[in-house]
Amino acid sequence: MFAEPLAYRMRPTTIDEIVGQKNIIGKQTSLYKMIKNGYVPSMLLYGEPGTGKTSIANAIAGTTQIPFIALNATTAGKKDVEAAVEETRLTGKVILFLDEIHRFNKAQQDYLLPHVERGDIILIGATTENPFHDVNPAIRSRCGQIKQLEPLTAADILELLQRALRDVKKGLGKLEINITEQQLGKIAAGANGDARKSLTLLESIVQASPRENEAFIVEDTIIADMIGNVGVYSDKKGSHYYNLLSCLQKSIRGSDVDAALYYLAHLLEGGDIISVNRRLLVIAYEDIGLANPSVGQRVLAAITASERLGLPEARIPLSVAVVEMCLSEKSNSAYAALDKAINDVKNGKVGDIPKHLRDAHYAGAKALGHVGYKYPHDYPLGTFGGWVKQDYLPKELLGTQYYQPIEAGQEKRLAAIYQKLKDFKEK
């Protein structure tokens, strides 16, 4: 038996062996052509676990035959970086693969950067975090290529699994394994785009299978048991987690019930209902808003229920809230209006408060001219209550309109009132 795991053994040794990521390093790409011509630029590879960052780096080194050094920024010290630099004095050039590059400290960076600039060290950095948020600008500026890797498709994973079953030297080709294409498809789908997980699953499933006459007989029950929650990605501080929250909000805003429930499922399987609840409450007021103001109260009730219930029961009130918000009328007019006002305040578009609106609850206010305020309740206006024409904005801002009503849901009634009051004011 092999000492190394199947996922380690099956790493590609050249770029032609890479599965998936055709838009990054397929034969039609400039990166593929550069590497085939022996030129390797410094680069950043950004993507979720299992998308092939380490594999691509190894394959590039194998294709070009340039000496390869792999370090992890979470454990590497300055001496490790110095050793990589020393290697360049012997070989002239090395590829330094730095995993978790967003954790690279300043001392390591300052020491390494001149060598990257001279080209002695070709830096290939890998990160699961958005490099534009989490990688130091000095590193980014020296990497001519920043590539975002997407999760592999089920077809890509299936190709990888079939290759592992055929490969006699590195894979499982020496073993007799009875496994159907349908079963391989289940494994491919269960891996959720993660090549490493798919190979680990395959190896574990085979080793857990009963044997008949030296043949492993793969059973559906074992596959189902092994897959479990393999699709759950629960890094609650990572970019992917915030992408899921963003997808949840955009799906609700776009009124796509099925997509919203899918992203809610992802997030709840990660186990963090606090961030989910916070985002749902924001959505109720940001995206539903005045079109259906009572939604905010019902979402808050669902959130309160979810906190008292805890998971897994918390999913029940939250599913109700998400479906209702998806199918509700929507308006962002209130907060959009406020943002315009905030922008004016920040940019100095302000004026003196009208004297008749200033505080007059003290002796001497009259002497300062704080007079003339008309009390609206003294001026009945039909069934509206009370309203009287007077200016409220500073004179420098008179006529400014921040609120642009949307005729959706209940806001249609509010929009009519707003327009009627505006007409009264213009008269």
The pLDDT of residue 35: 92
CB 209 within 8 A of CB 201: no
How large is the average pLDDT for residues 155-164? 92
What are the structural domains, with CATH classification, of the chain? 21-149 (3.40.50.300), 154-227 (1.10.8.60), 239-327 (1.20.272.10), 343-426 (1.10.3710.10)
The pLDDT of residue 119: 85
Query: What is the SS3 assignment for 77?
Result: coil
Q: How far is it between the farthest Cα atoms of the chain?
A: 106
pLDDT in tens, 346-396: 998 888 889 999 888 888 888 888 889 999 999 998 888 899 999 999 989
pLDDT in tens, 13-53: 999 999 888 988 999 999 999 999 999 999 999 988 888 89
pLDDT in tens, 280-326: 999 999 999 999 999 999 999 999 999 999 888 999 999 999 999 99
pLDDT in tens, 183-210: 999 898 888 788 888 999 999 999 999 9
CB 157 within 8 A of CB 193: yes
Separation of alpha carbons 293 and 285, rounded Å? 8
**If you average pLDDT over every residue of the chain, what do you get?**
88
Q: What is the pTM of this model?
A: 0.60
Evaluate if residue 242 carries a pLDDT over 60: yes
Question: What DSSP element (H or E) covers 204?
Answer: helix 195-208
pLDDT in tens, 62-121: 999 998 999 988 888 778 888 888 888 888 889 999 998 888 877 777 788 888 888 888
Count CB-CB contacts under 10 A for residue 119.
Answer: 13
Residue 229 backbone dihedrals phi, psi, to 5 degrees: -100, 35
DSSP 174: T
